[in-house]
């Protein structure tokens, strides 16, 4: 993994040198609070829990994370620095992993900044910290899966807007596959067993249990598998463009 840390450091610092990073963090924190206290009826639920907050994370990430990931490779290719980056004496896989980790770390910082929510629920009651911890773990893993998809689509094109649109649509499909309405629509076309298999590829199917405090090893493996698969595909795309 030679060269991983310099790439990670370069990319992470690049986020915080751009005003876009601070806009993202402000929008995320405001949207998260708004969804929790307004849409989630936090005060009316009479529960000292962040479960309703995590409920909205798949939808918040649907637009915000592709906005973070669309620049990972599209901007490099547009500006011409991508070719220079890939000619460095570092394996393409290391470069991809380093850039991804930087983006993931940036998102983790945004998640950490939601700590006032934790203080609030402890002030109002006596919450079970288990579901709060697992909720953050599941949210971070799901965010990584979103970002890996955005990184892959960013490598496909020089246009950040196109990358954003493609990644949003892929992630939207993966979110909706776990919804009951979508399952009913699929049942009308496919056998029930096949619909059940398809629903297992949904973000919401694997995230819902984690946000409720139930950590299943299969859910963790699912998100890690999505991340690894998309990053490997990312490497293949970049290698093919390098040789062309």
Measured distance CA(50)–CA(134) in Å, rounded: 11
Collapsed DSSP state (helix, strand, coil) of residue 213:
coil
Measured distance CA(30)–CA(26) in Å, rounded: 6
Specify whether the CB–CB gap between 203 and 227 falls below 8 A.
no
What value does the mean pLDDT take over residues 8-17? 88
Measured distance CA(99)–CA(5) in Å, rounded: 10
By percentage, how much of the chain surpasses pLDDT 90?
38
DSSP letter at 46?
T
Give ∠ CA 51-53-57 in degrees, rounded to 5: 110
Contacts of 40 (CB under 8 A, 6+ apart): 52, 53, 55, 56
Measured distance CA(128)–CA(242) in Å, rounded: 51
49-101 tens-digit pLDDT = 788 889 899 999 999 999 888 888 776 666 655 555 666 667 888 889 999 99
pLDDT at 124: 79
Residue 23 burial (C-beta neighbours within 10 Å; 0-12, 13-18, 19+): exposed
DSSP string covering 51-100, please?
HHHHHTHHHHHHHHHHHHHTHHHHHHHHHTHHHHHHTSSS-HHHHHHHHH
- Give me 222's structure tokens: 């699912």
Collapsed DSSP state (helix, strand, coil) of residue 103:
helix
Residue ranges making up the domain that contains 226: 4-243
Q: Mean pLDDT check: name the lowest of 23-27, 144-148, 186-190.
A: 186-190
Check whether 243 has a pLDDT greater than 60. no
pTM of the model: 0.90
Q: What is the CA radius of gyration of the chain?
A: 19
60, 48, 32, 51: which is closest to 208 by C-alpha?
51
pLDDT at 49: 76
What value does the mean pLDDT take over residues 14-40? 86
What value does the mean pLDDT take over residues 40-56? 76
By percentage, how much of the chain surpasses pLDDT 70?
89
Helix axes 71-79, 160-176, angle to 10 degrees: 160
pLDDT at 1: 64
Check whether 153 has a pLDDT greater than 80. yes
Measured distance CA(41)–CA(163) in Å, rounded: 34
92-145 tens-digit pLDDT = 888 899 999 999 999 999 999 999 888 888 887 788 888 899 999 999 999 999
Q: How many domains does the chain have?
A: 1
Q: Mean pLDDT check: name the lowest of 24-28, 195-199, 235-239.
A: 195-199
Collapsed DSSP state (helix, strand, coil) of residue 144:
helix
pLDDT at 229: 96
Check whether 180 has a pLDDT greater than 90. no
């Amino acid at each position: 993994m030679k060269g991983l840390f310099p790439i990670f450091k370069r990319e992470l610092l690049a986020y915080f040198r751009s005003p876009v990073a601070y806009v993202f963090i402000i929008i995320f924190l405001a949207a998260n609070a708004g969804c929790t206290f307004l849409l989630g009826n936090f005060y009316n639920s009479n529960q000292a829990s962040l479960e309703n907050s995590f409920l909205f994370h798949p939808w918040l990430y649907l637009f915000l994370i592709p906005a973070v990931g669309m620049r990972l490779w599209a901007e490099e290719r547009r500006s011409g620095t991508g070719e220079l980056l890939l000619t460095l004496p570092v394996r393409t896989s290391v470069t991809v992993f380093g850039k991804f980790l930087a983006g993931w770390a940036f998102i983790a910082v945004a998640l950490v900044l939601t700590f006032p929510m934790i203080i609030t629920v402890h002030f109002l009651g006596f919450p079970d910290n288990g579901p709060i911890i697992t909720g953050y773990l599941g949210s971070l893993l799901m965010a990584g899966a979103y970002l890996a998809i955005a990184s892959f689509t960013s490598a496909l094109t020089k246009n950040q807007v196109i990358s954003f649109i493609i990644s949003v649509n892929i992630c939207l499909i993966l979110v909706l596959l776990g919804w009951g309405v979508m399952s009913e629509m699929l049942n009308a076309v496919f056998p029930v067993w096949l619909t059940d298999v398809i629903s297992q590829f949904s973000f919401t199917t694997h995230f819902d249990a984690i946000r409720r405090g139930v950590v299943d090893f299969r859910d963790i493996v699912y998100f890690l598998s999505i991340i690894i698969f998309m990053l490997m595909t990312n490497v293949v795309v970049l290698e093919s463009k390098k040789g062309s």
